[in-house]
Structure 1
Amino acid sequence: MSLDELKVGFFYSNGAYGRTWGVRQLADIATDAATGETVYFFKGVAGTCRRKKGYCTPKEFARWARHQVALLENDWKRVDDGVSPDELQID
């Protein structure tokens, strides 16, 4: 994904299959006080990322994120697969 597509509060999947699949929520974008570089903070919400928190560079997050996703009932769906913004569940 491009950096322009990534937004705080939204959910992203790595697009993997099986045990390596994961969903992360982009929790915050901040500036590292020591280096002055931008840092992306995320929360893992499903799959291999579940219950994990972390941070990385914007490029690393964009490289990991393959799709924006939304939770519909009990299933994560790609937003570009016809999911309307009204159906998104953002906590």
Structure 2
Amino acid sequence: MSLDELKIGHFYSNGAYGRTWGVRQLAEIAADSETGEAVVRFRGIAGTCRRKKGHCSPAEFARWAKYQVALVENDWKRVGGDAPSSAESPAV
């Protein structure tokens, strides 16, 4: 993902499969008190990240985050128009 696509409060997945899959919520982007450089703070929500908090540079978070997700009922779904619509589906 690009840095421009990241939004505070939204959820992101690393797009991995199996045990390495994870979902994080971007909590804030702030300046580090010692260096003055931007730092992302996040909360682990599901998968390997669950119940963990962490921080990294915005570039590291953007590399980790493959796409935005949202919780739909009990399942994390990718946000966006990646699934073909009925108009794009081939006729049977």
TM-score bracket, shorter-length normalisation: 0.7 to 0.9
**Paired residue secondary structure (1:68):** strand
**Identical positions, percent:** 76
Runs of 4+ in 1 over 3 A off after TM superposition: none
User: Pairwise CA RMSD of aligned residues?
Assistant: 1.3
Matched, 1:19 2:12: no
The one-letter amino acid paired with 1:49 is C
- The count of corresponding residues between Structure 1 and Structure 2 is 83
In the alignment, structure 2 segments of 5+ residues that lack a partner are 83-92
Q: How far apart, CA to CA, are the structure 1 residues paired with 2:64 and 2:47?
A: 14
Per the normalisation by structure 2, the TM-score is 0.87
Q: How does 1:45-60 map to 2 (within 5 A)?
A: 45-60=45-60
Q: How does 1:1-91 map to 2 (within 5 A)?
A: 1-81=1-81
More helix by share: 1
Name the larger-Rg structure: 2
**Paired residue secondary structure (1:63):** helix
In the alignment, structure 1 segments of 5+ residues that lack a partner are 83-91
Return the offset for 1:81: 4.1
Q: How far apart, CA to CA, are the structure 1 residues paired with 2:14 and 2:5?
A: 15
**Paired residue secondary structure (1:4):** helix
Q: How far apart, CA to CA, are the structure 2 residues paired with 1:51 and 1:63?
A: 21
